[in-house]
Amino acid sequence: MVGVFRWTAMAAAVCVAMALPAGAQGRGGSNRQVVVSAAISLTEVLQQLAPIYQARTGDRVVLNLGSSNTLARQITFGAGVDLFISADEAQMNAVAAQIDPATRVDLLSNQLAIAVPDDRPRVMASARDLLDPAVRRIAIGDPAAVPAGVYARQYLQTIGIWSDLAMKMVPSGSVRLALSAVESGAADAAIVYHTDIATSAHAREALIIPAAGGPRIVYPAALVRAGKNPDGGRRMLAFLRTPDAIAVFTRAGFIAPVPPRN
């Protein structure tokens, strides 16, 4: 649902970007806009970082936030995005033909967590507690493509309880929609990112699935060829890898830089 809004916002952003004559986008590389399509789990942290980047460079950041698969679809269909930050490698691979592969980097990592409504808080010893009959509905990102859902399924398959839980699953269009199902009390639990839960007033963390035993979560970033402002995209990507930006990411609970593959 939010996806529809995002799509509309994106369409509007792209229209604006295309309508602006090159000269109006600023002289000497300043005051230009950088369109960043980013995984929705990065919402708050990027909203925090955008003004800092803006103050340093004069570039205006337009954030197009959505489920990574939605953003990848937009890019496939030619959206004029400068920088794409996906929540998994699969969605970045899906737009391999639209990105500049030389610019692709692994930006961040994260952990999965189980969220529960704050009026029925509980602590879980392991994800196996989801088998409890009191947990009747579990919201996850759509495991067909939404990265958080793909990771969740991967993890539950690894520990051997995916098929037992399949009937309880409510696939959602994005990880934040899964979280909001818990916030409204419509779902008894949601598998989201550890960083999502801190942004919610009505969800509590029942369990963090540690990076060591969980799926390897990687947020790759790359410049998109259809972007109108490749220099700005490059500047933004470089900024996101500075110690200042990494400090903001880390404070929000992300893991940066990405630990090496074992």
Partner 1 sequence: MNAEIRDIAIFTTLAALAATAVMLVPGVAVAWLLARRQFPGKSLVETIVSLPLVMPPVATGLLLLWLFSRRGPLGALLVRAGIEIVFTPAAVVIAMAVMGLPLLVRTARAGFEQVTRRYEQIAETLGAGPWRVFSTVTLPLAARNILAGAMLGFSRALGEFGATIVVAGSIPGRTRTLAVGIYTFTETGQDQQAAVLLVISVSIAFLAVLASNRLARES
Work out which of 33, 57, 64, 67 binds partner 1, going by CB under 8 A: 67
Tell me 123's DSSP state. -
b/e burial code for range 111-122 (CB count within 10 A of at least 16 → b): bbbbbbbeeeeb
Spatial CA neighbour of 245 closest among 89, 31, 61? 61
Give residues 156-175 in contact with partner 1 (rule: CB under 8 A): 169-173
What does the radius of gyration of the chain's CA atoms come to, in whole angstroms? 19
Does residue number 137 form part of the binding site for partner 1 (CB under 8 A)? yes
Does residue number 3 form part of the binding site for partner 1 (CB under 8 A)? yes
> Could you tell me the smallest distance in angstroms from the CB atom of residue 53 to partner 1?
29
Token reading at 55: 């103050």
Work out which of 45, 61, 94, 175 binds partner 1, going by CB under 8 A: 94
Residue 22's Cβ-count burial label (10 Å; 0-12, 13-18, 19+) is: exposed
Work out which of 75, 112, 140, 187 binds partner 1, going by CB under 8 A: 187
Does residue number 133 form part of the binding site for partner 1 (CB under 8 A)? no
Stretches 20-28, 141-149, 191-199, 227-235: which one binds partner 1 (CB under 8 A)?
Answer: 141-149
Stretches 26-34, 50-58, 64-72, 95-103: which one binds partner 1 (CB under 8 A)?
Answer: 64-72
Stretches 21-29, 183-191, 212-220, 235-243: which one binds partner 1 (CB under 8 A)?
Answer: 183-191
The answer to whether 47 and 63 are in contact (CB under 8 A) is yes
Angle subtended at Cα 56 by Cα 53 and Cα 60, rounded to the nearest 5 degrees: 55
Does residue number 181 form part of the binding site for partner 1 (CB under 8 A)? yes
Does residue number 88 form part of the binding site for partner 1 (CB under 8 A)? no
Pairing of strands 60-66, 33-39: parallel
Stretches 28-36, 106-114, 185-193, 238-246: which one binds partner 1 (CB under 8 A)?
Answer: 185-193
Distance, first Cα to last Cα, the chain: 38
Residues that bind partner 1 (CB under 8 A): 1, 3-5, 67, 69-70, 72-73, 94, 117, 119, 137, 142, 144-146, 169-173, 181, 184-187
